[in-house]
Structure 1
Amino acid sequence: MWFEFLLVVALLELTPGPNMAWLATLTLDRGKSVGLQAVLGISLGFCLYLAAALAGLGVLMASNPRLLAVLRWLGVMFLFYMAIEPWWERAKQHEQVGTSAGAKRSLEAGRYIIQGLTLNIFNPKVALFYVTLLPRFVVEERGLVWAQSLWLGLIHIGVATGVHVAIVLAAGRLRPWLGEGRRGTELKIFFTVALVLIAVWLAWDGLGGQF
């Protein structure tokens, strides 16, 4: 059972999604340290969903499809924002010349953690995992339900964080060759389009569920 769950989690996290596209784009654009800050925010989002599942809020979400629909549409809007934000930020940089480098770093650290957290709170893929998939691997006969749920959730967070850190480290290593000049711009365009396509797919999937 544990091996099956681990295999499902690995396949789920290795499937391309918003976290992968965003982390690769962010690391190529801003560097490895910023990418790792974003990973922290993403992991915090997982922890919040795990805490909600342990508190029994997963049952409430499962019985309220409208709540999941709201999360989906908020996620779609946030993905569109994340797609255009790097380009918008570049245009604003000239207006922030007077801001000290230390202040900029402090603001950015909290900013990317919050963005990673928000991206995953509004990520229906994460919500559905903790609401529908994780409970399927909990067997009452094997002991305390909350303890099993906690252990399974920690396995998921550990695997997901490992995958995300690997993406950031790989993008950070490639950044000197791919993150600058024409190739860097082309890659950023590619990942921007990827985020937009993921947002469109989530929107289309949500509309499909309403008919």
Structure 2
Amino acid sequence: MPEPDVLSVFFLAALALGIAPGPDNIFVLTQSALYGRLAGFVVTLGLCTGLLVHTTAVAFGIAAIFSASTIAFTAIKLLGAAYLLYLAWQALKAGTSRFSASTETEPSLSQLYRRGIVMNITNPKVAIFFLAFLPQFADPSAGPLVPQLLGLGCLFILATILVFGLVAWSAGFLGEWLKRSPTAQLVLNRIAALVFVGLALRLAVTQR
């Protein structure tokens, strides 16, 4: 494995990247505010599962092949954009029903977990970012690269859980307030829909 000082720098960089505004932490924020802290934590676990997939892909060289394929890149980003538009439509339909007596429209924890996975995996920039970022901290003289890259990926995931977990916990306060304000529920669902549409458009026009 890399030296402890290298791992420290890597971990601090991962924390900084998690704090920087981006699609994933905005997604955690909106889901936590709408459905509560637990929902945000579950979405975070889903996102981190996606990161584990990207880490494995980089470690075994799959991402290198993927990043060289324009067709694969375009297909994945359009799939991700379509999924975000679907979430926007769901948010628009939700209205204030999330906090009403009926919970039919409330996503289950397994659905929230899957949302996190799909949100992360269908963002091709994550795979390319990992491909560019992780190898910088690997040391060929320290042993086989695959275990090093997997270890770095796990360290990045730990940093992500810490940052996104804090985002989910903080947004939970907003969710508690929403329970007492039907108007605020409606407004936040509209805002969430706009956020999802914005993220979808951003992803659709992303270039490698």
TM-score by length of 2: 0.82
Residue type at the aligned position of 2:198: L
Residue aligning to 1:19: 24
Alignment equivalent of 1:79, drawn from 78, 84, 98: 84
- Check whether the contact 2:10–2:137 (CA below 8 A) recurs between aligned residues: yes
The answer to whether the 8 Å contact 2:48/2:161 transfers is yes
Relative to structure 1, the CA distance from residue 46 to residue 188 in structure 2 (aligned partners, 3 Å threshold; closer, same or farther) is same
Which structure 2 residues correspond to residues 4-153 of structure 1 after superposition, within 5 A? 4-89=9-94, 108-153=108-153
Paired residue type of 1:194 = V
Q: Which residue of 2 aligns with 1:185?
A: 186
Secondary structure at the aligned position of 2:108 is classed as helix
Q: CA deviation at 1:110?
A: 1.5
Task: Give the distance between the partners of 2:190 and 2:94, measured in 1 at CA.
Answer: 15
Partner of 1:175: 175
Going from structure 1 to structure 2, the CA distance change for 1:91 and 1:170 (only over 3 Å counts) comes to closer
Q: Give the deviation of 1:172 after TM superposition.
A: 0.9
Q: TM-score, normalised by structure 1?
A: 0.81
SS of match in other structure, 1:170? helix
- 1:17–1:198 contact (8 Å) kept in structure 2: no
**CA offsets 1:128-161 (integer angstroms, 9 cap, x no match):** 2222221222221232211210121011101111
Contact 1:62 1:132 in 2 (8 A): no
Determine helix, strand or coil for the equivalent of 2:206: helix
The number of aligned residues is 200
Please state how far the C-alpha of 1:91 moved relative to its aligned partner.
9.0
Q: Which amino acid aligns with 1:204?
A: V
* 1:71–1:47 distance in 2 versus 1, CA, 3 Å: same
Percentage of identical aligned residues: 24
- Asked if 1 retains the 8 angstrom alpha-carbon contact of 2:91 and 2:192, the reply is no
Contact 1:61 1:131 in 2 (8 A): no
Given the superposition, is the C-alpha separation of residues 2 and 126 from structure 1 closer, same or farther in structure 2, using an over 3 Å criterion?
Answer: same
